[in-house]
Amino acid sequence: MEKEIVYSIIIPHKNIPLLLQRCLDSIPQREDAQIIVVDDNSSPDVVDFAHFPGQDRTDVEILLTKEGRGAGYARNCGLARAKGEWLIFADADDFFLPDFLNVLDIYRNTDYDLITFRAESVDSDTLTPVPSRQNCYEKIAENMDLEILKYRNDVPWAKMVSTKLVRGHHICFDETIAANDVMFAAYVDYYARKVAACSKSVYCATVRRESLQYAVRLDTLLARVKVACRYNNFLKNAGREDKTLYTYSRVTNCRKYFGRKGYCKALLVYFRYECWKNIYKTFSDLLKAKLLGPTTTS
């Protein structure tokens, strides 16, 4: 009789096989866990496909995609193959902390839709501890006000997400070059009715300067502007304007790194996708700043 799968762990990968191996090594082999690695068209100059990480493990399923459509597409491919009751997500350059599955087991037989855990952070190369990349890290605890986390923890990792919830509401990742997970997290927050938080750390979200998270490229910055605007419109339609982001700051990032040309491109995205109320607020703030000038103290 085939063992019931409780956890489906989905890991997108591109061109970092050594770090992927580190991530896989942090996951103990258990019959009730399914690990799905989705390769996003890695280069054969970087990856030895004949010895791809995880090939020696029976609990790892490897899907080699050739479309090159990014981490969001890779994660959606993983979702389609998931068999577990719970979805667990990881980035290939991150890793899980010891005994993390034992912590997850506390919630495996509950009827929660979403459980959020703490995530530590280290420098990916040196493993030196750094401040956690996780929003609200220090506040995540069993007795916390869960409203603090809602629409503010826009990453998929360090969470248990009900597969039934995701499939029942057809939630998937954006297939965009950056911030593909923001709307996924938003929809999970929107539809989740029973949620919990746990003060135990189960995951390590690393800081790696070569990663997409820290890449300074105009196309990724523009993608982040667009996603943030869509996020605001989603919150507005959900009646949660109190949770909207100040997306104009992402526009100014384009000006900071790419000058007038980058700024103009970002403004076009901003005007196209941001809700008019926020655009009006931006113009009001800019006008006040220009009229009042910098504040001074005596």
pLDDT at residue 293, as a whole number: 54
**What pLDDT, in 10s, does the model give residues 163-211?**
999 999 999 999 999 999 999 999 999 999 999 999 999 999 999 887 7
Give the number of residues written for the chain: 298
How do the domains of the chain map onto residue ranges? 7-208, 216-292
pLDDT at residue 164, as a whole number: 98
Top CATH class of 7-208 equals alpha beta
Tokens of 280: 């009006």
Collect contacts of 133-138 with beta carbons under 8 A, ≥24 apart: 133/205, 133/207, 134/158, 134/205
Spell out, as residue ranges, where the chain has pLDDT lower than 50.
295-298
pLDDT at residue 289, as a whole number: 61
pLDDT at residue 280, as a whole number: 76
Give the DSSP letter string of 51-120.
G-TTTT-TTEEEEEE-S--HHHHHHHHHHHH--SSEEEE--TT-EEPTTHHHHHGGGTTS--SEEEEEEE
Which of these, 141, 127, 279, lies nearest to 197 by C-alpha position?
A: 141
pLDDT at residue 276, as a whole number: 76
pLDDT at residue 297, as a whole number: 43
Distance CA 156, CA 89 (A): 6
Distance CA 178, CA 228 (A): 11
